[in-house]
Structure 1
Amino acid sequence: MDREVRITLRMPAEIHSRLSGEAKTSRRSLNAEIVYRLENSLGIDKLPSGAPNVRDSL
């Protein structure tokens, strides 16, 4: 990500537990798992560096 924003996020413990387990299975950090899932749900593809960033227009 070219630009990152730090946030504090509250979520139900059960969702945290499930996401943590999925992240471990996928060999990703919890943060990377959440970003991966948000990108997928929003239809955002990973772009090569230097390409126009769709995220900036959301």
Structure 2
Amino acid sequence: MVKLNLRLPDDLHARLTAQAAADRRSLNSEILHLIEVGLGVVASDAPVRPGGDPASPAPLRGGPDSSPA
């Protein structure tokens, strides 16, 4: 595992800290999660986050001809 020193603006640090607390994660885990979501690494069946926003978009259901008639 790589260690990384990262400089953040105070307001961004506050937002990340608040979001980590809301998601019941450490700050490090929250940052890793957000990077993975941004890169599209998190599976689409990830749980819904506490604000109602899914961690990643849900896949489309059905086939191309499954629209209602």
Q: Same fold (TM over 0.5)?
A: yes
- TM-superposed CA distance for 1:32, in Å, is 0.2
Q: TM-score, normalised by structure 1?
A: 0.70
The higher radius of gyration belongs to 2
Separation of aligned partners in 2, 1:44 and 1:13: 27
Runs of 4+ in 1 over 4 A off after TM superposition: none
Please list the CA deviations of residues 2-36 of structure 1 after superposition, one character each: whole Å capped at 9, or x if unmatched.
Answer: xx110000010000000000000100000000000
Alignment of 1:12-23 (within 5 A): 12-23=9-20
What is the aligned-residue identity percentage? 42
Aligned partner of 1:9 in structure 2 is 6
Separation of aligned partners in 1, 2:42 and 2:14: 26
Structure number having the greater helix percentage:
1
- TM-superposed CA distance for 1:44, in Å, is 1.0
**Gaps in structure 1 of 5+ consecutive residues:** 47-58
Alignment RMSD: 1.1
Q: TM-score, normalised by structure 2?
A: 0.59
